[in-house]
Amino acid sequence: MGGLGRSPPHGVCQEPASPKPRRMPSHLGSIEGTLMTSPRVRIHKIAWNGNVGEVWYTAAGGAAHYLRALLSGFGFHLGTPMVRPGGDGALQALPVVKRGYSLTELQDVCRNDPGVEIGRRVE
């Protein structure tokens, strides 16, 4: 095998090069080389009072789980989403809690994620 600073001979640690593109497993729903789209969450309002608040959102498909995973990954404790009045039942309010966190920091978490879109008015 190769010495220090050298690559191992072809085939020892690598699969041989394949001339045709490989397909991703069908349960992932993608073909290698194509972009995967993440679920899209639209935030309509963020209400924040000290250490607690609500994120009002609409989400299609698994996007609600995406939002929950995003926020819990930043240390937020999440409640059960509630349907908010004034719509067709699609508008949800997700209770969030995190001590020592500000509205600006919560907005930044959401704004910096490509799977989240924030509407014009955020309170």
Q: For the segment 26-70, what is each residue's pLDDT rounded down to a tens digit?
A: 333 444 554 555 668 999 999 999 889 999 998 877 788 999 999
Is 85 a member of any domain? yes
The domain of 85 spans 41-113
The CA distances from residue 9 to 13, 15, 18, 57, 64, in Å, are 8, 11, 17, 54, 48
Q: Tally the domains of the chain.
A: 1
CATH number of the domain where residue 104 is located: 3.30.70
**Alpha carbons 56 and 85: distance in angstroms, whole number:** 11
Residue 21 within any structural domain of the chain: no
Greater pLDDT, 17 or 56: 56
In this predicted structure, the answer to whether residue 104 has a pLDDT above a threshold of 70 is yes
Asked if residue 78 is part of any domain, the answer here is yes
Q: What pLDDT, on a 0 to 100 scale, did the predictor assign at position 108?
A: 92
Is 12 among the domain residues?
no
The answer to whether position 75 is within a domain reads yes
Q: How far is CA 117 from CA 16, 29, 121, in A?
A: 42, 24, 12
Strands (E), 15-101: 41-49, 52-59, 77-78, 82-83, 92-97
Query: Does some domain include residue 96?
Result: yes
Tell me if 72 is assigned to some domain.
yes
Q: Which residue has the higher pLDDT, 98 or 62?
A: 98
Other Cβ atoms within 10 Å of 72 Cβ, number: 12
Q: Is residue 8 part of a domain?
A: no
* pLDDT recorded at residue 38: 60
